[in-house]
């Protein structure tokens, strides 16, 4: 489980265009890394659309947004096209990144237990350190909260 103050280890995952995105190549900027369970589901769609709608604000804060789920690059591409998303989505099909961040855990739905992604968001500073995190995210108002926390963290440096 990654906590605030932990260094993020390098990772490489394919994006929606099957291009490999490696942490070492994007480190040095503020990164909003958000994990979500599944493309094209109501909460995940709302969250992705909210990040897309606020992309300009995050750009002004010199940050990048990366969404991560166990879906394939092809499913991500379809999701992006269907919802006109402008953010980058990473395919964590083997769930290794979710496990590294400690958010691949037992969940319950209608009394049935299964392993899944716990909706979570991490702000990673330019040094590659977790600066803030949210677990069990409630989608409504979350993007605004992330934006405000990012501003606060940047102003405290």
Print burial letters for 68-93: b (CB count within 10 Å at least 16), e (below 16): bbbbebebbbebbeebebebbbbbbe
How is residue 120 written in tokens?
């979570």
Q: Which of 137, 133, 118 is nearest to 38 (CA)?
A: 118
Catalytic positions, written as ranges: 44
The contacts of residue 133 (CB under 8 Å, 6+ apart) are 2, 3, 4, 120, 121, 122, 123
CA atoms in the 13 A half-sphere facing the CB of 126: 8
């Amino acid at each position: 489980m990654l906590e605030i103050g932990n260094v993020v280890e390098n990772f490489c995952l394919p994006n929606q265009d099957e291009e490999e995105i490696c942490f070492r190549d994007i480190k040095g900027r503020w990164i909003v890394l958000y994990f979500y369970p599944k493309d094209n589901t109501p909460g995940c769609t709302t969250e992705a659309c909210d990040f897309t709608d606020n992309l300009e604000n995050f750009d002004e804060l010199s940050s990048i947004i990366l969404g991560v789920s166990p879906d394939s690059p092809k499913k991500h591409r379809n999701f992006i096209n269907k919802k006109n998303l402008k953010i980058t989505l990473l395919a964590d099909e083997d769930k290794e990144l979710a496990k590294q961040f400690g958010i691949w855990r037992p969940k319950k739905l209608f009394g049935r237990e299964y392993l899944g992604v716990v909706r979570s968001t991490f702000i990673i500073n330019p040094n590659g350190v977790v600066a803030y995190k949210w677990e069990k995210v409630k989608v409504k108002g979350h993007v605004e909260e992330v934006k405000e926390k990012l501003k606060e963290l940047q102003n405290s440096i």
